[in-house]
A = this chain, B = another copy of it.
Amino acid sequence: MADTERNFCVRYVRQPTGSVGSSNFRLCSEPLAECKDGEVLIRVAYLSLDPYQRRQMMPDINYAQPLKVGDVMVGRGVGRVIQTRHDDFNVGDWVKGHLGWQRYVSLPGMEVEKIEVDDFPPSIFLGALGSPGITAWVGLREVAEVSTGETVVISAATGAVGSVAATLARVSGCRVVGIAGGKRKCDYAVSRLGYDACVDYTRPDFREALAAATPSGVDVDFENVGGHIFDCVLERLNDFARVALCGLISQYNLTEPGGLYNIDKVLNRNATISGFRVTNYIDRYANALAELKGLVRGGRIPHVETIIKGLDKAPEAFVNLFQGAHLGKLIVQVDESIVQNKS
């Protein structure tokens, strides 16, 4: 049977209690879906691994695209059209969308978007020019509304979102302080990502080190982590500080969430915590991408990826995402042949 006649996919088969593990997924070989009228059949090249995918496994989640046990695991991806029944697409077009963890997917043309691979490497549309980059832009520009001269703290500083947020804060003339786990990541944050300082949350004196790195307090917190790290940042808030609450990665694998103990600082400082989901800011995407493309072209946003090869490695790579050992955007390369065949 030819390769293109069967699909290879990863299904989400069990809801995790506590940490997500490989046993929450199952690799499946299935008949290829038919490309229906109005659809395009896509061969998936790269998949994005992101913390929000863990949140989609929670029972109470309020996402436009819910994840149910038994589904092909959801996830953003880029790939190439290999069959088309939609007038706007040609065979060979590169597209991005919610492709899911699979080698092939047939989707309505209106659910995917062409990407400009002549100007940029395809996988960057899963990072700086994709949802993580736009998320960073929305959080800083729309939610927190950073201003010149402010001190901005970014947790998960070296992640796909944090690394773009750092550049955006710098071009706004802010002091940018990262929080990351371990000396290697902190050094990388300062040397490659342009942070003014990066504080290692694994240090026993993290709280004091954060205070030392933010001598004028914190005006904006781009919060990706939650828990104790978040509490330590709340202690540093200035009057009228804004927290762009983007993620709580430290909490997703806990059976019971940890408490947040410094909410009184939000009260005392006339501060604001704004949770945001990037999909609620679709009308800002064009503005976001205009700035982000300029920064990528100008070399201001380094293109750093950790690429895991093979769809069968996706579950393990996803589990490791929460250990935080990788640098930059974590990506699964589904199919090597298509990538080598890009140009």
A112 within 8 A of B: no
CA distance A103 to B267 in the complex (A): 32
Stretch at the interface among A12-20, A208-216, A244-252: A244-252
Say yes or no: B267 contacts A247, CB within 8 Å: yes
CA distance A170 to B276 in the complex (A): 29
A306 within 8 A of B: no
Residues of the B chain whose Cβ atoms lie less than 8 Å from the Cβ of A245: 263, 266-267
Q: Provided the pairs A257-B261, A259-B259, A259-B260 are in contact, do residues A275 and B266 lie with their beta carbons within 8 angstroms?
A: yes
CA distance A62 to B240 in the complex (A): 12
A23 within 8 A of B: no
Return the CB mask of A217-255 against B: 1 if under 8 Å, else 0: 000000000100000000000011000011110010000
Measured CB to CB, the closest approach of chain B to A233, in angstroms, equals 13
Say yes or no: A257 contacts B264, CB within 8 Å: yes
Residue on B nearest A256 in the bound complex, by CB: B261
Measured CB to CB, the closest approach of chain B to A252, in angstroms, equals 9
Q: Provided the pairs A259-B259, A264-B248 are in contact, do residues A273 and B270 lie with their beta carbons within 8 angstroms?
A: no
A329 within 8 A of B: no
Write the residues of chain A forming the contact surface with B, with a CB cutoff of 8 angstroms: 55, 60-62, 226, 239-240, 245-248, 251, 256-264, 266-277, 280
Q: Provided the pairs A62-B239, A239-B62 are in contact, do residues A270 and B260 lie with their beta carbons within 8 angstroms?
A: no
Q: Provided the pairs A272-B274, A280-B270 are in contact, do residues A263 and B226 lie with their beta carbons within 8 angstroms?
A: yes
CA distance A272 to B242 in the complex (A): 10
9 A-B pairs with CB atoms under 8 Å apart are: A55-B268, A60-B268, A62-B239, A258-B261, A259-B259, A263-B273, A267-B275, A269-B275, A273-B273
Partner of A276, one of B226, B247, B259, B270: B270
Say yes or no: A264 contacts B239, CB within 8 Å: no
Say yes or no: A272 contacts B269, CB within 8 Å: no
Measured CB to CB, the closest approach of chain B to A243, in angstroms, equals 9
Q: Provided the pairs A259-B258, A260-B260 are in contact, do residues A268 and B226 lie with their beta carbons within 8 angstroms?
A: no
Q: Provided the pairs A239-B62, A251-B264, A264-B251 are in contact, do residues A270 and B277 lie with their beta carbons within 8 angstroms?
A: yes
Say yes or no: A273 contacts B266, CB within 8 Å: yes
Partner of A267, one of B248, B256, B264, B266: B248
Measured CB to CB, the closest approach of chain B to A214, in angstroms, equals 16
CA distance A268 to B272 in the complex (A): 16
Q: Provided the pairs A257-B264, A260-B260, A261-B257 are in contact, do residues A272 and B270 lie with their beta carbons within 8 angstroms?
A: no
CA distance A247 to B263 in the complex (A): 10
CA distance A258 to B263 in the complex (A): 10
Say yes or no: B266 contacts A263, CB within 8 Å: no
CA distance A239 to B62 in the complex (A): 9
CA distance A281 to B246 in the complex (A): 28
Residue on B nearest A239 in the bound complex, by CB: B62
Q: Which of A60, A239, A261, A263 lies at the interface centre, i.e. has the most chain B CB atoms within 10 A of its CB?
A: A263
Partner of A259, one of B62, B261, B268: B261
